[in-house]
């Protein structure tokens, strides 16, 4: 299969025999999906695509196939996440395993030199083209537990607080996103029985794109029967840890938008949907979330979401529900509500 993006094109021209290698955190482009080797990714959409072709694919929370002859790490835009992948590989693959690291210059691939040096790992440059770089090293034990990068902090919500557990691969890592705060301010008036912030949340609620689990935790604390889903296994694990840290219950699933839910329906769907894939704007997941929401709501069920004010969601809400209302607008974020008739 021909390479679709520059980093894959750079790999395609290498003389390395990649048969049986482990591909770590590759992009969603189709290159290598039908090729040799196995996959390690925290992206459920990528995992599903590989598994659909009968290829071995695992998340980092499931383990990995027995020792591969080598591994290729696609360097992410988050340097902290790239460092975590390095720690994970050093902890789980045999010492001496060849590792190649590939990425775009503007995505920070040149910083891997310092990251590897800090771990005491050597490095050499193999190739560069199309504003991308390819580097090589060998893995070794470095004495740092990958779990050390998990962080926990208290999110102040005014009249209450929640303990959030976060990871470099999770949206809004280490802080309370302001858009999510705007959404939380509106939830008591539309989801709670007494509309004053002290009653229980009504019925079955779904948090799509759950991130670090703040919405799921708030809904569970206020009595909702919570299901949460995210395409990122980092987010799924973070939400599970956040619920546990607050002694709350909820079902957390890995899935691309509604893919893990089957035909289940809910009384409410809440979301702060993503609109980026790496550095590119991608309305696809949010568009599916909105347009398919009526199929996952009971009659009278509602969709409540927050979005940057410039995003073109009103047209999608009009198409899906026939109407919507703006609950809050501070010129930066808008909170929308639509109800299934």
Q: Are 211 and 171 in contact (CB under 8 A)?
A: yes
Render pLDDT for 248-291 as a digit per residue (tens, 0 to 9). 999 999 999 999 998 899 999 999 987 644 445 556 788 999 99
Rounded to 5 degrees, φ, ψ at 37 are: 95, -175
Which tokens hold the place of 327?
């609950």
Would the pLDDT of 1 be above 50?
no
Cα–Cα distance list, 266 to 277, 288, 292, 293, 333 (Å): 27, 16, 13, 10, 25
Would the pLDDT of 66 be above 90?
no
Number of C-beta neighbours around residue 125 at 10 A: 12
pLDDT the model gives residue 152: 96
Name which of 30-39, 43-52, 105-114, 163-172 the model is least confident about.
30-39
Task: Report, as an integer, the average pLDDT of 58-75.
Answer: 88
**Model confidence band, residue 31 (pLDDT cutoffs 50, 70, 90):** low
| Nearest residue to 97 (alpha-carbon basis) of 8, 13, 20, 9 | 20
pLDDT the model gives residue 193: 64
pLDDT the model gives residue 275: 63
Q: Are 41 and 59 in contact (CB under 8 A)?
A: yes
pLDDT the model gives residue 199: 60
pLDDT the model gives residue 340: 95
**How high does pLDDT run on average in the chain?**
90
pLDDT the model gives residue 36: 75
Name all domains of the chain by residue range, CATH numbers in brackets.
Answer: 6-147 (3.40.50.150), 150-339 (3.40.50.150)
Render pLDDT for 215-236 as a digit per residue (tens, 0 to 9). 999 999 999 999 999 999 999 9
């Amino acid at each position: 299969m021909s390479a679709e993006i520059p980093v894959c094109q750079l790999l395609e021209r290498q003389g390395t025999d990649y048969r049986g290698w482990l591909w770590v955190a590759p992009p969603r482009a189709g290159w290598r999906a039908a090729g040799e080797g196995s996959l390690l990714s925290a992206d459920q959409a990528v995992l599903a695509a590989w598994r659909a072709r009968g290829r071995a694919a695992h998340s980092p929370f499931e383990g990995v196939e027995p020792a591969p002859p080598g591994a290729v790490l696609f360097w992410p835009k988050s340097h902290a996440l790239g460092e975590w992948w390095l720690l994970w590989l050093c902890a789980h693959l045999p010492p001496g395993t060849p590792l190649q690291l590939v990425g775009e210059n503007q995505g920070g691939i040149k910083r891997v030199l310092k990251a590897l040096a800090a771990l005491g790992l050597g490095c050499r440059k193999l190739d560069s083209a199309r504003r991308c770089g390819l580097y090589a090293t060998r893995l070794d034990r470095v004495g740092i537990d990958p779990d050390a990068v998990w962080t926990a902090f208290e999110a102040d919500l005014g009249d209450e607080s929640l303990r959030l557990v976060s990871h470099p691969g999770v949206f809004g890592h280490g802080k309370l996103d302001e858009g999510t705060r705007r959404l939380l301010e509106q939830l008591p008036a539309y989801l709670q029985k007494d509309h004053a912030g002290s009653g229980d949340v009504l019925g079955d609620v779904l948090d799509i794109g759950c991130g670090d689990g703040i919405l799921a935790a708030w809904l569970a604390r206020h009595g909702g029967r919570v299901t949460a889903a995210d395409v990122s296994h980092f987010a799924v694990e973070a939400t599970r840890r956040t619920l546990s840290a607050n002694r709350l219950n909820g079902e957390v699933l890995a899935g691309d938008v509604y893919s893990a839910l089957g035909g289940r329906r809910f009384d409410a769907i809440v979301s702060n949907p993503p609109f980026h894939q790496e550095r590119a704007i991608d309305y696809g997941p949010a568009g599916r979330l909105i347009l398919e929401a009526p199929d996952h709501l009971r009659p009278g069920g509602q969709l409540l979401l927050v979005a940057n004010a410039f995003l073109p969601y009103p047209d999608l809400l009009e198409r899906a529900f026939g109407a919507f209302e703006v609950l809050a607008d501070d010129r930066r974020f808008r909170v929308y509500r639509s109800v299934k008739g």
